[in-house]
């Protein structure tokens, strides 16, 4: 079994998340937070402000006039979209590398994460589900942060992991836990704690495959799980583990969703996938 302290120590090799992004993550989790508070955080970080303005003035948005301030950007695009851009800009650096253990080439984990976040947002927006949409988008975006570190250990243990998956009916995260001593959900939660994410966001990261039955009644965690399932169904940069997770059909009933609803989300995501892909090139 791998020395788990080595795994945990490897967290420090990643680029730290900007403090302003961490603060936004915490505020986005709080349904009582003010949108003005979030806008003020963005305004006080010149690097993030510059990047947001660059993205807003790109051909992707095709705005009729040049955006010259965060206030302009919020007025034209809405604060929801600006928060998404800030989080994507702040988090992308660690995700864009190749992750060999999971069979993901350069940029593929980031592509999956962004597409998953948009699928989660579609579930919230189009199916009347009462939820904190900032939290759901963010959680879907960062749910796989544990893979940033664990991938190198999975690469050395993949044969043993696959034996458990193929021959003994383990899910991939169960096999990770058995062989390495920790799965990417658990490591992701440790990383989120180290980076001072909010408690609910940490919970979703730790339970986004719904291995713990109690997570199957938590609305935000289930939405992130279903977004991941939709991405796997569409083959969106899922890697070697993409088909080795369990599908809990009972959560659809609890969320008052049907398999036809998931198919509708797939159709909607397919229609705007090209636009989402072009957004990836801006960060």
Residues 249-274, mean pLDDT to the nearest whole number: 89
pTM (two decimals): 0.88
- DSSP per position, 47-63: HHHHHHHHHHTSTTT--
How large is the C-alpha radius of gyration of the chain? 18
**Encoded tokens for 204:** 């979703």
**Encoded tokens for 49:** 């402000």
Sequence ranges of the domains in the chain: 4-16+98-280
CATH superfamily of 4-16+98-280: Hypothetical protein af1432 (1.10.3210.10)
CB atoms within 10 A of CB 222: 26
Nearest to 24 by CA among 59, 72, 70: 70
pLDDT of residue 198: 85
Grade residue 23 by pLDDT with cuts at 50, 70 and 90: confident
pLDDT per residue over 68-81, tens digit each? 888 888 888 877 77
Partners of residue 99 on adjacent β-strands? 104
Distance CA 39, CA 45 (A): 10
pLDDT of residue 22: 80
CA triple 171-244-91, angle to 5 deg: 100
- Long-range pairs for 165-168 at CB < 8 Å and ≥24 separation? 165/244
3-state SS class at 245: coil
pLDDT of residue 1: 60
């Amino acid at each position: 079994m791998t020395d788990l302290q080595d795994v945990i120590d490897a967290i420090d090799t990643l680029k730290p998340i900007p403090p302003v992004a961490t603060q936004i993550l915490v505020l986005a989790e709080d349904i009582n937070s003010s949108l003005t508070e979030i806008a003020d955080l963005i305004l006080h970080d010149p690097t993030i402000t510059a990047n947001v303005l660059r993205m807003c003035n790109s051909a992707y948005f095709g705005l009729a006039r040049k955006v010259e301030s965060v206030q302009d950007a919020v007025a034209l695009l809405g604060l929801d979209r600006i928060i998404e851009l800030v989080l994507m800009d702040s988090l992308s650096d660690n995700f864009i590398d190749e992750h060999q253990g999971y069979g993901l080439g350069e940029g593929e984990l980031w592509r999956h994460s962004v597409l998953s976040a948009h699928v989660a947002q579609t579930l919230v927006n189009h199916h009347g589900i009462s939820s904190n949409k900032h939290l759901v988008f963010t959680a879907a975006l960062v749910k796989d942060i544990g893979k940033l570190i664990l991938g190198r250990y999975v690469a050395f243990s993949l044969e043993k992991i696959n034996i458990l998956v193929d021959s003994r009916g383990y899910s991939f995260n169960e096999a990770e836990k058995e062989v390495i001593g920790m799965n990417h959900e658990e490591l992701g939660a440790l990383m989120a704690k180290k980076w001072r994410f909010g408690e609910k966001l940490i919970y979703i990261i730790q339970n986004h495959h719904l291995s713990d039955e109690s997570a199957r009644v938590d609305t935000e965690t289930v939405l992130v799980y279903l977004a991941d399932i939709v991405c796997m169904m569409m083959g969106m940069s899922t890697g070697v583990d993409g088909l080795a997770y369990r599908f809990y059909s009972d959560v659809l009933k609890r969320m008052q969703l049907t398999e036809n609803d998931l198919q509708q989300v797939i159709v909607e995501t397919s229609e705007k996938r090209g636009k989402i892909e072009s957004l990836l090139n801006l960060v």
